[in-house]
Amino acid sequence: VTGSPARMLGIDFSPPLRATDAQLMQRFPLGASVKLAAVYKQGPWWRDLGLQGDILAAAGTPSLPDGTPLFVQCVDHSPFSRRLGVLACFVEGKQNFHLTQLPLSEQRRLLLGFLRLSFNDSRAETYEPQVVSHNWADSPFTRGAYTGYLPPGVMSVPELWAAFKAQEKLPNVFFAGSDYHDGFGNGYIEGAIRSGQQAAALIHARLQGPRLQPA
């Protein structure tokens, strides 16, 4: 079984999940992240300036009332053909909550203003890109991104930590996915692959075990 921790509690398991597993899922929230992509039909024009298109901002405008920058990271996500220019920007945590309360038109205005400021080039706005937004918390099958995290009081409780490390939650029912991987890659594609491989190995071993012979 794979899925975000928030969705696992919505599955009707029979028999039910053990108490420690149910308690673990209740203490396993997902982060808050939204991706805004500015898509330019003119192609990646910033490369004409000798710029790679990656942006990291530690300060500046636009910002939250406490001075925290609204946009922190953007990356060049243009296709190899350069037929389109795509800048993907990620807004997380409290910045996410602030941004997603604004009308889409205001989100667009703030994003393009930030790109204009970052590149010091008005084409960020005058080229009038299409802006595409995706908030993972809006998706009923994820309800957050990028990954689950364990708040204080989980890893320090041996029973909850043991529940996290155990992939077999019920007899012959295994959890797999990036959120449940105990090791390198937790929360990312590497962890998803490794967790899936581990679950597959456990299932294969179970299927190769001794079987009851008909009487």
Q: What is the CATH number of the domain that holds 195?
A: 3.50.50.60
pLDDT for 157 equals 95
pLDDT of residue 213: 54
Q: Looking at residue 214, what is its pLDDT?
A: 53
The residue among 78, 70, 91 whose CA lies nearest residue 47 is 78
Domain boundary among 81, 110, 138: 138
Residues 82 and 155 grouped into a single domain:
no
The alpha carbon of 54 is separated from its chain's Cα centroid by a whole number of angstroms, namely 19
Q: Would you place residue 161 in the very low, low, confident or very high pLDDT band (cuts 50, 70, 90)?
A: very high
Domain that holds residue 167: 5-29+147-208
Name the pLDDT band for 146 (thresholds 50, 70, 90).
Answer: confident
Tokens coding 140: 């009923």
The residues, any chain, with a CB within 8 Å of residue 140's CB and separated by 6 or more, are none
- 122 and 162: one domain? no
What pLDDT shows up at residue 211?
Answer: 62
Could you give phi then psi for residue 71, rounded to 5 degrees? Answer: -105, 130
Sorting pLDDT into bands at 50, 70 and 90, what band is 61? confident
Burial label, 119 (beta-carbon count in 10 A; 0-12, 13-18, 19+): middle
> What's the chain's average pLDDT?
92
pLDDT band at 212 (very low <50, low <70, confident <90, very high): low
pLDDT at 94 over 90: yes
The pLDDT value recorded for residue 148 is 86
Name the residue among 199, 107, 161, 139 with its Cα closest to residue 7: 139
- Buried/exposed 64-73: b ≥16 CB within 10 Å, e otherwise: eeeeebbbbe
Distance CA 165, CA 99 (A): 36
Q: Identify whether residues 118 and 154 lie together within a single domain.
A: no
- Show which of 138, 159, 183 is a domain's final residue: 138
The count of domains in the chain is 2
Per-residue pLDDT band at 140 (split at 50, 70, 90):
confident
pLDDT score at 14: 94
Query: Do 84 and 55 lie in a common domain?
Result: yes
* Residue 159 in this model has a pLDDT that exceeds 90: yes
Task: Tell me which of 103, 138, 173 is where a domain ends.
Answer: 138
Q: Could you tell me if 22 and 60 lie in one domain?
A: no
197 plus 114 within the same structural domain: no
- Say how far residue 60 (Cα) sits from the centre of its chain: 25
Residues 105 and 153 in one domain: no
Q: What is the pLDDT of residue 163?
A: 95
* Contact criterion met (CB below 8 Å) for 36 and 91: yes
